[in-house]
Amino acid sequence: MVSIHRRIFEDLEAMIVNGVWPPGYRIPFEHELVQEYQCSRMTVNKALSALAGRGMITRRRKVGSFVASRQIDRTVMDIQDISTEAELAGHDHSYRILMRKIESLDSATAAQLGEPIGAQILRLHCLHAVDGKPNALERRIIMLAMVPSARTENFASVPPGKWLLDMVPWSKARHVIRAVSADAATARLLETERGEACLTLIRQTWQSSRTVTYVEIIHPGDRFQFAGDFHPSERGAMDQMPRRSAS
């Protein structure tokens, strides 16, 4: 049986993909969808967050949600939120903040990010669990010059990735996926063996030419995979509908 938030997601996605709702079209307000589907506002928000994470809609506080402009070239992996993707797949998601620290960029990290030495950042480490089992170790840097509200956000009720997707616009993203071996600290947190294969997603997002966030998300190799369905677009680009799988 398909969950309600998954049904809302698929219904709205179909309206966008089929061109019924063109770019710039304001989709129904949350309270209208709540009434139509006879569900909670939280359920509607999950579906809208997933659409925003796929780059299909843009959300504007106090204004509403709008169909995003069609992209000719999609990124290799869309910006995704771990919690929303897990819940849409029918899994329970939980997380805890392991570290939250404001500091200044050292020379090596500044060079890596292309940002000035000494810039203020918020460094976060977060452990995600799916169905009660560790599924991802998130190590994130947020540039406080670009996201000043993160300075006082404790992320107690919303995980960092979802909070950023809902709150901060981005204009460019880069993804790198690579295999790594779990070191002792990572193995302990992910409840796996030292040296076991892990999949790491490295993501950096920008607004104009300034970094918004840089994150490394490490998944146990035997509990996770990246998968996507590809279809040729009208202009020959490849549109992707990526899926995350957790076992």
Run means of pLDDT, 10 residues per run, the chain, 247 residues: 85 85 90 94 90 82 80 47 76 93 96 95 96 93 95 93 84 88 95 92 90 94 66 41 44
Which tokens hold the place of 192? 């796996």
Query: What ranges make up the beta strands (E) of 6-119?
Result: 57-60, 64-67, 93-104
Judge contact between 212 and 146, C-beta under 8 A.
yes
To which residue do tokens 């219904």 refer? Answer: 11
State the Cα–Cα distance between residues 76 and 161, nearest whole angstrom: 18
> How many H helices and E strands in the chain?
7, 10
Judge contact between 27 and 64, C-beta under 8 A.
yes
- pLDDT reported for residue 184: 95
- pLDDT reported for residue 103: 97
State the Cα–Cα distance between residues 116 and 124, nearest whole angstrom: 20
- pLDDT reported for residue 227: 61
CB atoms within 10 A of CB 145: 13
Model confidence, pTM: 0.65
- pLDDT reported for residue 80: 65
Q: Between β-strands 238-246 and 224-232, what pairing exists: parallel, antiparallel or unpaired?
A: antiparallel
Q: How far is CA 80 from the centre of its chain?
A: 3
CB atoms within 10 A of CB 26: 13
